[in-house]
Amino acid sequence: SSGINAEYGDPSTYEMIQKIQTLQRRLISKTEEVVSKEMAIQEKEKLYIDLKQILARQPGPEVAEQLQIYQQSLKEKTKQMKAMSSELNMCEAQNAEYRYEIETLVRELHDAKNKYYMQKRKERNLKERERHMAGGMIPPLISSQRQESVNRFTGGGFNLKQAQKA
């Protein structure tokens, strides 16, 4: 220690040099720390920028609110569509029922008309026979031998011969 002091001459100079070296070591250490921290800050800033860009691409709260409105609207429309679909099915079933009822009524009407015309034919044939019997004639068996004066009716009960105008 005295050899070093002799080299610098003054003990205070030695202490100052030691202090300077200690300060330089601390400065180097702190500088390394600063560089390390700056690198960490740069990494964090890069991460922050990346996250900021990701967030910028994400939909905002107004988009989420609009999406919620659309979803609610879709639920309501789906519910309406299901109700209308079931109503349509009921109408189709009722329509099929009405068609069947109409077919039944048409058959019944056709049967009633046939019965009516058969009854009329029987009555007409009976009257013709009675008239012929009263006149002493044999009733005609073939319909083409009918008298022209007898009115003929068909389908709707309308006279096929034109009425004579008086």
Tell me what pLDDT residue 154 has. Answer: 59
Cα 120 to Cα 123: distance, rounded to the nearest angstrom: 5
Instruction: Give the pLDDT confidence of 75-96 residue by residue, as tens digits.
Output: 999 999 999 999 999 999 999 9
Cα 72 to Cα 162: distance, rounded to the nearest angstrom: 73
Tokens of 103: 């077919």
To the question of pTM greater than 0.85 for the whole model, the response is: no
Higher-confidence residue: 123 or 153?
123
Higher-confidence residue: 145 or 128?
128
Kindly tell me if the per-residue pLDDT of 63 is higher than 90. Answer: no
Tell me what pLDDT residue 7 has. Answer: 58
Kindly tell me if the per-residue pLDDT of 68 is higher than 80. Answer: yes
Instruction: Give the pLDDT confidence of 117-136 residue by residue, as tens digits.
Output: 999 999 999 999 888 888 76
**End-to-end C-alpha distance for the chain, whole angstroms:** 168
